[in-house]
Structure 1
Amino acid sequence: MAELPLRRRVAIAPEHPAFAGHFPGQPLLPGVVLLGEALEVLLRDAPGALGGAPRVSAVKFLAPVRPGADLDVRWMTPAQGRARFEVWRHAPEDPADGVLAATGQVETGGSAA
């Protein structure tokens, strides 16, 4: 898999409230929170390129994210109305390169109003 050129590391606090109820005894970061973090990175780092109303058009979750892990969001500069992204998990037990936790695509929205 070709490496995506743009990236930002996101720290997820082990006491993040999403872990508390998802799932008791085996906490993991819900997919909606993982996607929210990825979209926040894209909106912060490529706001003009995504337009005013980006939407996730495809996503695949590949590995769970548990307390103590950080995320590494990687993406391509949006082109032809879409941007591909990957979210890599970096936990203490993971290899140095991390573990691919999710992949997806964002469709660019209209211009910001």
Structure 2
Amino acid sequence: MSAQVLRSTLCVAPTHACLAGHFPGRPLVPAVLLLDALAGLLETRGQRMLGLSEAKFLAPLLPGEHAALEIVAIDAAQWRFHIIRADTLIACGRVRVAPA
């Protein structure tokens, strides 16, 4: 299998409904929204995310900040992901996938 690379950008608007109760006064983008963006990017290639093999959330993403999402196929059943804001690694890990 030749290496497949998918890239996207993400930015959660400061008005997103989930932020109202997520650390009031200093909201952070919840990890579940980052994982939802990851799942959505995989779906564009006909892959369904089954679960996380490994995930590290290393820095917060604030509402309105832009981040790059990159995923690289390891094999037919796993992809490695990185979410990066400027020069800061926000999250990384591996996901298990299956055809949608």
2:88 maps to what in 1? 99
Q: Which amino acid aligns with 1:20?
A: A
Q: Compared with structure 1, are the counterparts of its residues 77 and 53 closer, same or farther at alpha carbon in structure 2 (3 Å cutoff)?
A: closer
The C-alpha deviation readout for 1:6-60, integer Å capped at 9, x for no partner, is 311123212111221110111001111111112111222x21xx3x453222111
Tell me the TM-score normalised to structure 1 length.
0.73
Count of residues paired in the alignment? 97
Question: Over aligned residues, Cα RMSD in angstroms?
Answer: 2.1
Tell me the TM-score normalised to structure 2 length.
0.81
Structure 1: state its 5+ residue gaps: 90-96
Correspondences of 1:27-106 after superposition (within 5 Å): 27-44=27-44, 46-47=45-46, 50=47, 52=48, 54-89=50-85, 97-106=86-95
**2 CA distance for matches of 1:53 and 1:87?**
16
Structure 2: state its 5+ residue gaps: none
